[in-house]
Amino acid sequence: MIWNETKECMSRDEMTALQSKRLVKLVDYVYHNVEFYRKKMQAVDLMPGDIKGIEDITKLPFTTKDDLRDNYPFGLFAVPNSEIVRIHASSGTTGKATVVGYTRKDLDIWSECVARCLSMANVGKDDIIQIAYGYGLFTGGLGAHSGAEKIGATVVPMSTGNSKKLTTMMVDFGATAIACTPSYLLHISEVLAAEGLLDKIKLRAAICGAEPWTEKMRHEIETRLNITAHDIYGLSEIMGPGVACDCQYHRGLHVCEDHFYPEILDTATLTPVGEGVTGELAFTTLTKEGIPLIRYRTKDLTSIDRSVCECGRSSARISRFKGRVDDMLIIRGVNVFPSQIEAALVDVEEVTPHYMMIVDRVNNLDTLEVQVELDQRYYTDEVRAIEALTKKITHVIQQALGLSAKVKIVEPQSLKRSEGKAVHVVDNRKLY
């Protein structure tokens, strides 16, 4: 079964008409239900009736991650909590989470969009799929899960963290598909090889996302596992996984643009750029009820192509991501901002605020080392004292990031000082 055959194969004019109708309704909805948007529109003398179609979208204000943080936790919700049936959240610079809420209808549309993506990867009801994104506040696990259930596949909710169990079950259950981050899948391929299981698996498709990866890495995964790997994109503010995915031709990711209207913005002027030009991606959620967002700036860099794809789908395609405009790192699928380390170290008096993050990829798993400088006042070369301090800081960082890091205490004044902008990150990961 092909999901949403109608929506993905509409003519461009039909799609524009649908988007226009939905935008007009959305603007009226947020004006009357979200004080934040009402005030923003009033500030520029804009009334809902001024938005007559998608061509008027540029009259509307942008929304940023900071707006979500400033309205933490539920300030941007458009419905009372009695209508919200699920909450997800992602971490941010200040440690304050970005919180999103879904109504029953939002969850239905989310699973529909993920089902479309799985269908692009030719995954259906006869497949056994291991979901190896993290379950919990992160949208990856539960998001992929409900889409896979919707399409009728047999879902194995693995989550992350136990590669050996995953590979054993992959063989024992005869899993034919997997959804996880691409770096994790490379690691899995090594575990399978080390255990001599590569020729015992029945895997044929992977749906990978949540972090940047390249065509080269896709080929590497496909060759190692003898499968087809697809790129799935999404972000919690807009929905989670399933905002876009690539089909068998891998010429960009088809956007579910009947639900999420994409714009590509010039990074300096924030005005929309033409097709094929790289800029910052922004989304307007056309059908969301719980937390509808207008012109949400994703900070992700990509370009758009609205021509009909060889697969027959007419939905707009965004190119593989070229990076982000901010400094967020994605380490083992977790969003990490350098300033989170800074904030965590402020409370440890034995060290200075100078630190350096060294990110690497060993055996296809991301590693993070944090070098922390001893305060001269606490200078000691006593091994046990250093060991105790290392343990303490390791715990502080784990609490702050939700991610384990190797902590290395270095001598006072040994970290390089900067005269301009401070450099806190060395990212040695080489994308294939």
Of the residues 8, 231, 258, 280, which one makes contact with ligand DLL according to CB under 6 A? 231
Q: Smaller CB distance to ligand DLL: residue 205 or 345?
A: 205
| Structure token digits, residue 24 | 């007009």
As a whole number of angstroms, the distance between CA 262 and CA 284 comes to: 7
> Is there binding between residue 292 and ligand DLL (CB under 6 A)?
no
> Is there binding between residue 296 and ligand DLL (CB under 6 A)?
no
Q: How far is the CB of 116 from ligand DLL (least distance, A)?
A: 14
Q: Smaller CB distance to ligand DLL: residue 256 or 393?
A: 256
Map the footprint of ligand DLL across residues 241-260, applying CB under 6 A: 241
Q: How far is the CB of 133 from ligand DLL (least distance, A)?
A: 5
Q: How far is the CB of 161 from ligand DLL (least distance, A)?
A: 16
Of the residues 92, 101, 124, 209, which one makes contact with ligand DLL according to CB under 6 A? 209
> Is there binding between residue 212 and ligand DLL (CB under 6 A)?
yes
> Is there binding between residue 210 and ligand DLL (CB under 6 A)?
yes
Of the residues 8, 67, 127, 211, which one makes contact with ligand DLL according to CB under 6 A? 211
Map the footprint of ligand DLL across residues 179-198, applying CB under 6 A: none
Q: How far is the CB of 105 from ligand DLL (least distance, A)?
A: 20
From 40-48, 115-123, 132-140, 389-397, give the range in contact with ligand DLL by CB under 6 A. Answer: 132-140
Number of other residues whose CB lies within 10 A of the CB of residue 417: 7
Q: How far is the CB of 412 from ligand DLL (least distance, A)?
A: 37
**CB-facing half-sphere around the CA of 67: CA atoms within 13 A:** 21
- CB-closest chain residue to ligand DLL: 209
The strand pair at 128-131 and 177-180 is best described as: parallel
Q: How far is the CB of 241 from ligand DLL (least distance, A)?
A: 4
Which among 126, 133, 123, 196 has a CA at the least distance from the CA of 159? 133
Q: Smaller CB distance to ligand DLL: residue 153 or 372?
A: 153
Which among 233, 232, 330, 318 has a CA at the least distance from the CA of 281? 318
From 16-24, 235-243, 284-292, 404-412, give the range in contact with ligand DLL by CB under 6 A. Answer: 235-243
From 133-141, 384-392, 405-413, 422-430, give the range in contact with ligand DLL by CB under 6 A. Answer: 133-141
Report phi then psi at 359, rounded to 5: -105, 135
> Is there binding between residue 407 and ligand DLL (CB under 6 A)?
no
> Is there binding between residue 234 and ligand DLL (CB under 6 A)?
yes
> Is there binding between residue 140 and ligand DLL (CB under 6 A)?
yes
Of the residues 101, 240, 262, 279, which one makes contact with ligand DLL according to CB under 6 A? 240
Q: Report whether 203 contacts 177 (CB < 8 A).
A: yes
Q: How far is the CB of 247 from ligand DLL (least distance, A)?
A: 14
Q: How far is the CB of 317 from ligand DLL (least distance, A)?
A: 13
> Is there binding between residue 279 and ligand DLL (CB under 6 A)?
no
Q: What binding mask, one character per residue, do residues 53-92 give for ligand DLL by CB under 6 A, x or -? A: -------------------------------------x--
Binding site for ligand DLL (CB under 6 A): 90, 133, 139-140, 209-212, 231-236, 240-241, 298, 300, 321, 324, 335
